[in-house]
Amino acid sequence: MAYFDAASSSPLHPVARQALLASLDEGWADPARLYREGRRARMLLDAARETAAEAVGCRPDELTFTSSGTRAVHTGIAGALAGRRRVGRHLIVSAVEHSSVLHSAEAHEAGGGSVGRVPVDRAGAVDPGAYRDALRVDTALACLQSANHEVGTEQPVAAVAEVCREAGVPLLVDAAQSLGWGPVEGGWSLLTASAHKWGGPSGVGLLAVRKGVRFAAQRPADERESGRAPGFENIPALVAAAASLRAVRAQAAEEARRLRELTDRIRARVPRLVPDVEVVGDPVRRLPGVVTFSCLYVDGEALLHELDREGFSVSSGSSCTSSTLTPSHVLRAMGVLSEGNVRVSLPPGAAEEDVERFLAVLPGAVAAVREKLGAPAGSAVAREQDVLVVDSLGKRCPIPVIELAKVIGDVPVGGLVRVLSDDEAARLDIPAWCEMRDQEYVGEEPAERGTAYVVRRAG
């Protein structure tokens, strides 16, 4: 089985396993105690903190270990907002942040705060100028991920940090996806990360808060981890997380070059091997091992199952894999095709022969899914004067786009097709189909049920 979902969780690094097992015998005691066992545990904890702080690029006393990357995000945002409550209650996030950041933003709004959401371009990147425009006199905190978890696009963190510094606003960087590849450049104020993303054990997060940043922990006071992460430290896991971070960093430059070559190969060959595919994300400024593409006329869940049967573990941001039928917020913010979405994220050590086998298997897997969806039952087509109407109400992606593709040739050049759909994915996928097939997307119109998406045949 080829595991190609490292952006979700990376396999446990051998160094992490060795450090975890070795520290079980020494790191079980309370590091706050002064007797021999406590002192041994404290030495392990201090060494892990120093190692992790060196990798992050901060002082050891600026680094807190948390129970997860999500907890680090929630603690960091809540503490920074509370520490600057006299400035105001305005929070800035990008539209493609990890759900942990967006959930914190929603909670902040529910509590009476305000949130500014910065858009991204079609590659998934923010414009630093958009952050400058979003800043207000009452902005307490800005957030920006270092690299996107779904499409791999790296963000201009250093430029955004400078914009925030000039305005006197702290910037929190979610570095979960990138920290294993190198430190985050720029004058960030707070940083979060998650150990299982770089091959450390799950249940370990990092929160770095620079000296001078106003911060007020929003939980009952505790003597551990500067009061920011209460509870007994899991010292063996912390030691394993720090040791594996140091280990992957030592090989990062060489491994990044190797994985970039493999993902470049996927980016270049998938569109040649599979028709009607859109490769998404920035082609240059991206994580080394991540490549994402979307396939027209494909049910994302069915494709993932097909690839799983062939021995490949991949993930998807397609709405077809969601019970809510709502596309990934990242793909939606980018305005790219969501149906048949596949994210390949190669772990360190991924074999070239596995990538070649994936490229050999993919065309047949896509073709099999398309064949199953080739003749959807109950397709209703009618005419309203000179407009061809396709009724796709109640049908989930990619059926509305398939039915549009089938009838576009039935109207004259310049004629209109009106697709009725109540699937949220159609708002992304129909315009994306038009761009890929050189047809003109006219726009949305109100309908008695759902929404009408109007397309003009261009040729």
What residues are annotated to the active site?
320
For 397, 422, 433, the CA distances from 405, given in Å and listed in that order, are 13, 18, 9
DSSP-based three-state secondary structure for 133: helix
- By three-state DSSP, how is residue 238 classified? helix
Reference 13, options 256, 249, 312; nearest CA is: 249
- Where are the strands (E) in 316-422, listed by range? 341-345, 380-384, 387-391, 416-421
| CA separation for the pair 298, 432 (Å, rounded) | 14
Number of neighbouring beta carbons within 10 Å of residue 377: 6
Q: Residue 252's Cα: distance from chain center in Å?
A: 21
Contacts of 200 (CB under 8 A, 6+ apart): 12, 13, 16, 237, 240, 241, 242, 244, 245
Other CB atoms within a 10 A radius of the CB of residue 42 amount to 19
Which residue bears the tokens 């160094």?
15
CB 337, CB 428: distance < 8 Å: yes
Distance between CA 441 and CA 430 in Å, rounded? 8
Beginning with the edge strand found earlier in the chain, give each strand of the sheet holding 416-421 in spatial order.
Answer: 380-384, 387-391, 416-421, 451-456, 440-446
Q: How far apart are CA 343 and CA 19, in angstroms?
A: 31
State the sign of the Cα–Cα–Cα–Cα dihedral 429, 433, 435, 441: negative
What are the tokens at 200? 């450390």
Contact indicator for 154, 173 with CB cutoff of 8 Å:
no
